[in-house]
Amino acid sequence: MVESKKIRVKEEDLREFCTRILESAGVPRNDAEIVADSLVDADLAGTGSHGVTRMSDYLGRMEQGLVSPVTKIELVRETPSTALLDANNGWGQVASERAVELVVRKARETGSAWVGVRNSNHNGTAAYWTVKIAHEGMVGICSMNTSPVMAAHGSRRPTLGTNPLSIAVPSSSGRPAVLDMATSEQARGKIILAAKNNEPIPEGWAITKDGLPTTDAKEALKGSVLPLGGPKGSGLAIMLDILSGVLTGASFGATMPRMYDDPAPQRVGHIFSAIDIEAFMPLDEFLARMDEKERETREGPPAPGFERVRMPGDGRHERQAERRTHGIPLSPEIHAELLRLAKRYGVPAERLRPHPRTITD
C-alpha cells in the first residue's frame, strides 16, 4: 500500500484550531484547551490513533448527548493520599487534568497518592498523563478501562478493553522515560486497517466471534482481539479493569458501551498514582542513577537486525522534536475531516494550511 502524501500543520495552529472547534461546539475555553492539547500531543508523539482524528468522534458523541459539553467534576471521597472523582459524563481529559493535579498535590503532601475517576470518557493516551506527573519530579502511573473488544485468555467473548498501562519517570534529559502499552497483542487499529486494505493479519492477533483463530481481518473485527502473550496480558487487563473500573465505581468488563457502536454513556474509569521521588532519595541522586540506567540500556549493544536499543519513550520524544520543527503530518483524509468540522462549527480554517517548513514525508 502506498501512503498518500501527508499535509503538515504547525503544532500551535492545530491546537488552537481544535480548541476553537470545541469551544464553538459548547465546551468551555479552558476545557477545550485541555482536550486539544492532549490530542495534539498524541499526534506529536506519533500515536495518531489518539490524535486529532478523534475530534469528529468526540463531537459526534457529544452531539448525540452521550458526553456532556461541560464537565462538572465532583469529589466523591478523599483521604490524605487518595481521592475519587466523578466526572459526571464530562470530558475524560478535563477530569484527568483535575485528577493529575490532585494526585500530584497529595503526593507532594504525603509522599505518594492514588486518585480514581468514574463516569468519565476517553481521555487520550495514558502517556500524556504520566509524563505530566513525571515533569513534577514524580513517578507517574496511569491506567483506564476501554471498550470491550478483547477476549480474556481462553474465552470467546470480548469482556475486556485493551486497557493500557503507562508508567513515566523523570530523566535528567528533561524527556521522561515513559512506557505506554496496551494489554492486547496488537492494536485493533491495525486490524481495521488490514480489513480496509483486504489484507490478512498474522496469527495470534485475534479470534472470530466463535473463538477460533483467524487471519481474516474482517472476521477478526466481528470477533475479539487477543491479549498480549495469552494469560499474562489477559490477567493484566483484568486487574487494570478492576483498578480503574471496579474500584472507582465506573463501568467495567462487557457492560461498558463501545465507543463507536453503542449510543450510551461509557462511564469509563481512570486510575492514577504519583510517587514523589524526594520521598525516596534526593531528585539529583535519582536522576544520576537514571542516567546510568539509560546509558546501560541504550548501549545495548544491539542484536543483529537492530540499529540501536531504546529506552521506553525514546521514539515518542524523537517524533515530538521532529514534528515541533517540521509540523504535524496529517493524512489528506483527516485534514479533510477537520475542514468539514471547520465549516460545521463556523471556525476559520486558515490554521490548517500547510506548515511553511513542510518536508516530504
Catalytic sites, residue numbers: 122
Distance CA 290, CA 308 (A): 19
260 binds a second copy (CB under 8 A): no
| CB-based contact 34:87 (threshold 8 Å) | no
Joined grid coordinates for residue 88: 459526571
- Mapped onto helix, strand or coil, the DSSP state of residue 202 is coil
111 binds a second copy (CB under 8 A): yes
State which residue, 58 or 114, has the beta carbon closest to a second copy.
114
- Judged by CB under 8 A, the residue of 24, 56, 179, 337 near a second copy is 179
State which residue, 255 or 325, has the beta carbon closest to a second copy.
255
State which residue, 95 or 338, has the beta carbon closest to a second copy.
95
189 binds a second copy (CB under 8 A): no
Distance CA 194, CA 196 (A): 5
What x/- string results for residues 273 through 302 when contact with a second copy is judged by CB under 8 A?
A: x-xxx-xxx----x--xx-xx--xx--xxx
What end-to-end distance do the CA atoms of the chain give, in Å?
A: 15
The CA–CA distances, whole Å, from 167 to 141, 173, 179, 185, 317 equal 5, 17, 5, 19, 15
State which residue, 64 or 79, has the beta carbon closest to a second copy.
79
DSSP collapsed to 3 states, 11-39: HHHHHHHHHHHHHHCCCCHHHHHHHHHHH
- Judged by CB under 8 A, the residue of 90, 137, 158, 312 near a second copy is 312
What x/- string results for residues 318 through 357 when contact with a second copy is judged by CB under 8 A?
A: ----------------------------------------
Minimum Å gap between C-beta 121 and a second copy is: 20
Considering CB under 8 A, how many residues would be counted as binding a second copy? 79
117 binds a second copy (CB under 8 A): no
Contact stretch for a second copy (CB under 8 A) within 3-11, 22-30, 54-62, 252-260: 252-260
Distance CA 214, CA 204 (A): 8
Distance CA 221, CA 205 (A): 11
